[in-house]
Amino acid sequence: MQLPDSILMFKPSILQSMRGYNRERFIKDVTAGLTVGVVALPLAMAFAIASGLTPQTGIFTAIIAGFLIALFGGSKVQIGGPAGAFIVIVYGIVERYGVPSLIIATAMSGVLLFLMGLFRMGTLVRFIPVAVVIGFTNGIAVLIGLSQLKDFLGLSIPKLPADFFGMLSTLWAYQSTFNPYALAVSVGSLLTIIVWQHFLPALGPRTPLVHGKLTIIPGSIVALILGSIAVTTLNLPVETIGSRFGGIPAELPAFALPELNWETARFLFIPALTLAILGAIESLLCARVADGMVDERHDPNQELMAQGTANFITPFFGGMPATGTIARTVTNVKSGASSPIAGMVHALVLLLIVLVAAPLAALVPLPTLAAVLMFVAWNMGEWREFARLRSYRMPYRLTLLAVFFLTVVFDLTVAVEVGLVAACLTFIYRISSLSRSEPLVPPAAVSGAPQWNDSDLRVWRLYGALFFGAVKLIEDIEDHLPRHVAIVDLKNVIYLDSSGAEEMQHLARACQKRNITLILCGVIEQPLDMARRARLLDHPGVRQEPDLRAALAAGLALLPPGADNGPAPATAASPAA
C-alpha cells in the first residue's frame, strides 16, 4: 500500500526560502519582524483579556505559536498568533469548563489540525461557502464589540457572561456603574487609531516624514502609549493591566500539564473541533491573501500541520489557541518580509519585550485595549455584504443571515453546522435542478436515422449529474418504458454516484421483468467507472454502445419483424427535471 506524499514528507517553506538567501533579505526580514512584533504586542494582550485570560497568555501565544508557525508553516510570510475569531469560543470554554479544560481543548484542536494536514484536507477548507464565512465572521465581530463595552464604558462588572442575552442583561444591569473617564480614554484611543491608520497615509508624498516614517508605527501602539501617559500623569480612575492582573511577569512561561481524563475530553471534543475548523479557515484564508501579495503559492497541508504543531505545544506553556492572522501578515509583507525568518524574529522581539519591558505593561489602561479591539472588530467584519444581499439569490441571503444570527444569538458551532447544512441543501437543489431528462422522438434522435414506433423503442438523453438528488429522472423513465427496447444516452452525464447507479439497476431489473432490452450509450469516464463497479453493465438484458447512432442501429435490429414499420405515433414526453 502506497502512503500519501503528505504522510511521508514534511516540507516547511523555510527549507525552500533558504535557497539563495543573502544578507539583504536577512536585513529586510529582521526589519519586518521588528515591526510586526510591535504591532502584535497590544493585539496579543487585548485578545487574551477579551477571552477571559491574563494578558501574558496572549503574549506567550504570540511568542511560542508565532515562532513554530513560522518555522514549520507552508507560507513564507504568514504570521501566527492569537486571533480575534477565537475570542468568543475561548471565552465560552473558560467560563463553562475553566482554564485547564482550555489547555486540553487547544491541544486536541492541534491534533485535529495536524491530522487534517497529514491527510491532505487543506484544500477541502476552501469548499466552505463564502456565505458561511462572511456570516460567522460578521457575527464574531459583533460579539467582540459587545464584549468590549464593559471596559469601553468602564462598567464595574465582576464577570461578563459569554452568551448574547446574558451580555445584554448584564450590561443593562450595571449601567449605573458607567465611568466617564474610561469612556474618554476609550474614545480618545479609538480616534487616535482611526486618525493614525486612515488619515495620515492619505496625506501622501506631500509630507514625506509622515508618509514614509510615522505610518510604519501602528496606530494601536500610538494609542497604547498616549493612553498610558494620560492615565498615569492625570491619575485618572481607570482600570489598568496592573490594577486588574498585577502586571506581566518578566519571565519565560513554565511547562504545565493539566489533569486529563476521558470524561473531560469527551465534553471538550466539540469545542476542540470548532477551534480546529475555525483555525484552519482563518489560517488558510490568511495564507491565500498573502499569496496574492507576494506572488507565491502556499502549501495548505503543510500550513495545517504547522498550525496543529503550534496549537498542541503552546497551551502547555500558558498559551491559548493560535492561527494565521491577516492584519499582522499584511504588515509583515508590507514591511518587506521575504521568508519565515521575519515571523521568527517577530516572536523573538516579543520575548525580548517580556524580559525587558514587562513592568511598563502594567500602566496600559484597559479602555485603550478595548478601543483597539473595537477597531479590530470593525475591520474584521465585511459589513458591505449586507448592503449587497439584494444582488444575490434567496438561498445565499438566507444562509448568510442565518449564520450571522445564530453566531450572535446562539453559538458559533451551531451557526457553522446550520450554515454548512443549508449550503449543502442549496447546492443539492441547484445541481438537481440542472440535471434533466430529454425524451427523443424520431427523427430528432439522430439525423438520417430511420423511423420507428415509439411504443416499441424509446430514447432518453440525460444531462448533468445522476446522484441521490436527481434519481427521479430514472424513475420517470421506468414509468414510460416501451414494449421492446429502451435506450438511455448518457454522454452528457458528468457524474454518477452510488444512489444513481442503484436506481439504474432498478431500471435494469424493471426492463428484465418486461423482457425489454436496455441499451446504455455514450457513457464517459466517471459514470462508466461507477457503472462497472456497480456491475450494472453485467446485468442481464443491458447492453452498452459507444454512441447514440450505434445504439439506435442495435435497438432497431432487436425489434420483432414489423414493429418498426410506419410513422411513430404521437406520445407525451416525460417532463424534464
| Gap between the Cα atoms of 294 and 101, Å rounded | 39
| Gap between the Cα atoms of 235 and 229, Å rounded | 10
**Which residue's entry shows cell 504545565?**
256
Quick one: pLDDT at residue 387? 86
pLDDT (mean) for 390-403: 86
How crowded is residue 387: how many other Cβ atoms within 10 Å of its Cβ? 8
| Gap between the Cα atoms of 326 and 300, Å rounded | 16
User: Which is higher by pLDDT, 562 or 419?
Assistant: 419
| Gap between the Cα atoms of 364 and 361, Å rounded | 5
DSSP secondary-structure letter at 464?
Answer: E
Q: What are 372's three cell numbers?
A: 483597539
pLDDT (mean) for 93-114: 92
Quick one: pLDDT at residue 575? 36
* pLDDT at residue 45 greater than cutoff 80: yes
Non-local (6+) Cβ contacts of 539 within 8 A are 505, 508, 509, 512
User: H or E element: which one contains 340?
Assistant: none
Q: Where are the beta strands (DSSP E) in 37-161?
A: 80-81
* pLDDT at residue 141 greater than cutoff 70: yes
Name the band, by pLDDT with cuts 50, 70 and 90, for residue 563: low
User: Which is higher by pLDDT, 110 or 429?
Assistant: 110
Mean pLDDT of the chain: 85
**Which residue's entry shows cell 444570527?**
405
Q: What are 192's three cell numbers?
A: 487616535
| Gap between the Cα atoms of 38 and 35, Å rounded | 5
> Quick check: 66 and 79 in contact, CB under 8 A?
yes
Parallel, antiparallel or unpaired: strands 80-81 and 436-440: unpaired
pLDDT (mean) for 288-317: 89
Burial of 198 by CB count in 10 Å (0-12 exposed, 13-18 middle, 19+ buried)?
exposed
Query: Which segments of the chain belong to CATH 3.30.750.24?
Result: 435-558
| Gap between the Cα atoms of 315 and 110, Å rounded | 10
Specify which of 142-151, 247-256, 410-419 reaches the highest per-range mean pLDDT.
Answer: 142-151
- Spatial CA neighbour of 86 closest among 115, 65, 117: 65
Quick one: pLDDT at residue 574? 38
Chain centroid to CA 330: 19
**Which residue's entry shows cell 525568518?**
341
- Spatial CA neighbour of 44 closest among 373, 344, 363, 287: 373
Helix and strand tally (H, E) in the chain? 25, 7
How crowded is residue 356: how many other Cβ atoms within 10 Å of its Cβ? 10
- The class of domain 435-558 in CATH terms is alpha beta
Q: What are 508's three cell numbers?
A: 435494469
DSSP secondary-structure letter at 75?
Answer: S
Name the band, by pLDDT with cuts 50, 70 and 90, for residue 565: very low
pLDDT tens-place string over residues 156-187: 988 888 778 888 999 999 999 999 999 999 99
Quick one: pLDDT at residue 367? 93
| Gap between the Cα atoms of 568 and 442, Å rounded | 7
Instruction: Work out the percent of the chain whose per-residue pLDDT is above 90.
Output: 38
User: H or E element: which one contains 73?
Assistant: none
Quick one: pLDDT at residue 206? 54
Lowest mean pLDDT among 86-95, 258-267, 552-561: 258-267
pLDDT tens-place string over residues 523-542: 999 999 999 999 999 999 99
**Which residue's entry shows cell 430529454?**
438
What phi, psi does 148 have (nearest 5°)? -90, -5
> Quick check: 364 and 38 in contact, CB under 8 A?
no
- Give the CB-side neighbour count of residue 62, counting CA atoms within 13 A: 35
* pLDDT at residue 567 greater than cutoff 50: no
* pLDDT at residue 241 greater than cutoff 80: yes
Q: What are 344's three cell numbers?
A: 521568527
Parallel, antiparallel or unpaired: strands 485-496 and 517-521: parallel
pLDDT tens-place string over residues 194-235: 888 777 665 555 555 555 555 567 788 888 899 999 999 999
Query: What is the pTM assigned to this prediction?
Result: 0.74
